[in-house]
Amino acid sequence: TCSLLRSPKGFPKLKNDTFLRAARGEETEHTPVWCMRQAGRYLPEFRETRASQDFFATCRSPKLCCELTLQPLRRFPLDAAIIFSDILVVPQALGMEVVMVPGKGPTFTEPLKEVEDLMKLRQKVDVTAELGYVFQAITLTRHSLEGKVPLIGFSGAPWTLMSYMIEGGGSTTMAKAKSWLYRHPEASHRLLRLLADVIIDYLVGQVAAGAQALQLFESHAGHLGPELFQDFALPYIRDIAQAVKSKLKEEALPLVPMIIFAKDAHYALRDLAHAGYEVIGLDWTIRPQEARAQIGKDVTLQGNLDPCALYAPKEKIGELVKKMLESFGTQRYIANLGHGLYPDMNPEHVGAFVEAVHAHSRHINKH
């Protein structure tokens, strides 16, 4: 249970470090597995906990975030927990208003329209003042996990956050945000730099609060081609890894493994392999062998089952998992979906996925 805070230090001893070992490239007895959006609407208990609450009010309640983070671990033998939060808390910390509109998703009441709108953003963000509720949720959850599995913290990456701040919500083309990259490159870099600086402090704060790994979500990488990615996404992705690591060292905090998940960015895998991350997350649109060939042997891969495969009968899920493990290999690999779980998925099929990863990877490792 998520009873309120004990001392932030003196965390319980970790009992299952398979996920961290795989992330660092050490040998594991089984392939670790977790799911993006594992704390989510596909679980009836999640819908029940969330029912009476505004979405972002839930994000601001450490007790609720803790409860939602733990729910999937009560059902499935997952190898990691990921803190329940949202990538859009960072634009909120910059002073933008975001509301969750039923049937539409996250919506900015006043998106950035003109370059002058950048002046409305907080130029210096005190992450503890603005995002301290996430740090509290992480500390509380780390205690409440009782060392069962490691806890992952996360943030959206600068381009992905910028695209939401300009589009005002989801978009199929990202035309407004991309037009900034072509029309206002200097202003785009100013915004991306501002975001990167906040993200760096935010991620370091998450480790100080108890996060044992960090994932950076460049969810909208697929809207950029190789050139735009090279100019407007990659430099900040690199910089975040480097700056987070040097700040962790300076503050004598643990050097935790970092994961970069750039969705639909096959064109950038070689660059991402040298961006300073221990793990590269893959979506389902690339063959495991191809990813491994481009990324090389020194980086752990994570992914990449098509989330829709979980609609298949359980036996079929087992076959697909076996094939995936044979393609990636069971070492230097973390099993996951190629994107998050969808709200209408059957929890039993999620369980079948998790158990298949454990069973097949153990079998492959023995033989």
Distance in Å from the first CA to the final CA of the chain: 40
The full 3-state SS of 282-315, as one line of letters, equals CCCCCCHHHHHHHHCCCCEEEEEECHHHHHCCHH
Residue pair 216/240 in contact (Cβ under 8 Å)? The answer is yes
Report which secondary-structure segment, H or E, holds 215. strand 213-218
Is-contact 335 321, C-beta < 8 A? Answer: yes
- Contact indicator for 327, 294 with CB cutoff of 8 Å: no
Backbone angles phi, psi at 128, to 5 degrees: -70, -40
C-beta separation of 59 from 65 below 8 A: yes
CA 106 to CA 88: how far, in whole Å? 8
| Other beta carbons within 10 Å of 2 | 19
Please state whether 83 falls in left (phi above 0), alpha (psi between -120 and 50) or beta.
Answer: beta
Q: Known catalytic residue: 142? A: no
Given the residues 17, 21, 42, 50, the one annotated as active site: 50
Of 37, 142, 238, 332, the catalytic one is: 37
**Is residue 37 flagged as an active site residue?**
yes
Active-site hit among 86, 117, 231, 306: 86
Q: Are 244 and 204 in contact (CB under 8 A)?
A: yes
**Residues listed for the chain:** 367
Q: Is 311 a catalytic residue?
A: no
Identified catalytic residue from 41, 75, 190, 362: 41
Separation of alpha carbons 3 and 176, rounded Å: 44
Reply yes or no: is the peptide bond before residue 336 cis, omega within 30 of 0: no
Q: Which of 213, 15, 188, 64 is nearest to 118 (CA)?
A: 188
Which residues are annotated as catalytic? 37, 41, 50, 86, 164
